[in-house]
Structure 1
């Protein structure tokens, strides 16, 4: 039987899971994905945690303990989420050791409400790094304008970073520069560069969703012919930029000091339209040294019918540029597209964080009432 996920891994793609929950950890399904499906990393976000913590039963014991301590909702949120991430980091430790620190990474995001506040983002990144206390952790920081100096400062402190919410090539270039700045400062600060990891999370499917909506509104044959092409083309050109930036003298000096490159990570790789094959954002973005973080449904789909055709990125740069030329010709303002996507991305994570806090407040309140009931006291 063909092991399609092994073929994908052998082609240079690190398979990471875009999900985490206490149930997944307690039942051992995360470890099963590691041992049977070649999953070598985990990403989380506020939406994932909001969904996980909506299952209060899975967190019942810890919720009661937090309620007994009288902690705030904010403190309880961090206690619960960092507990899960710490556990996941331990599950992924064999992949970390086997890859000499390249994989086996688990991500946790700073409070999305801090996306436009540099110093607070850095402070929270340091706090999360301390709370989880696992060297295979990645702190997720959004690639907002305020996030860029926060990325540099966090790396300079010797903390590994997952840069999230990247949509445009222009911003991606600045993310790479922020990474290089951070490593140069980390080296000056005496940190071991071989221990510092980073990925740059380039969002994929959301680009098609926004662009295709605009193409449908234009409605011409030329516009319709471009549907479903912009996200993959955007990511392919991002890899071209990655090759250029990590092929120069500046990176060579850091590499000589033990640094590992900031790998491109394809995020948001579940299809949002039934018109597309469910594995399209994996099959069309295969290249050496990339990460693809997928929902379990996409991992399962790829294991069943995914096609690994070798490198589907580096030979496609001219065709990818033609897609963008076509988008401009039919009147798509891609700068506006990515601005909308970044704004919406931050807002969606803020909304999920709000839902998480609201749900957790209710769960803590219920735990307090349960602890003070006569039956419990007896």
Structure 2
């Protein structure tokens, strides 16, 4: 079996846009007619530029290759241009291609990917969601009453873990010391949410590498009384030794990983004891096999895994396949319950019941892209300005 074609879909995510402005999905086709899908989480260039990069990488290392030889393909791509080191864009592209290969291999074998990775450990997977705005409750990131109301909505639907990030804007000049206003608003948000949900839900306090270690420690000590499940990415992601300072001075578990690339960057978390919860994004960390290796390193360091998701449903389905196999799984991120446009993009939506995902028993990733819907929602070819995520470009005073 050989790969004969690669197609990239750049899909516009319509309002309310949960999961990002657009999704980048790759499709690989083999000479036997088997098709595989993968999703790329690359945010540093415009999406159509990423699609052109996919064509370049695929022409060099993927077309005419056997999709079963995933490790070989991975090493060849990773060494492109005499690199052999973490590169978020290149590894994001190879992550999507690798994911699509696993989808092909699973379909060819007639088995879910999890059966090819050691088999299922979990019959269902606990999920969490962000507190996204809704009608009547738009200010969930700045208004504790709105956040509390939305939290109760999500608990009623079945979620038992809720994430939010009230600590102010993240900027190109992070890390910084949190202002007194940021500390106060974070404490008020935590107090309001804990009073609303009681013991019915875990609270996941998110930041985006915003603080110095000293600043993160100040903030952590203020929110400790509300017992959050984690304090996410308190320092810049490339400073595990500084994150370890925070971990050593707070009772809140530290979580990080959405911006890390390849197992070498995750291994540094273990060496420095920087975080007890690792959050690989399979569309950026190197793909499914890399995710399995990262989880094994985490296990050897006594750490748990909580796969990150701020993308589309193909990447979500890959997370489900990996998570089902992990003895050290904590929880997986959902885009709410993968409803709305996320469900429309799949021929058969991901099954979510009362806060849990039920892993599909279908072969491969267990989902198929609805290409008609994908083509009906293209990201404009002339829109090169928006990126998937961005920071405030100037210092915040």
TM-score by length of structure 1 reads 0.47
TM-score by length of structure 2 reads 0.45
Bigger Rg over Cα = 1
Higher helix fraction (1 or 2): 1
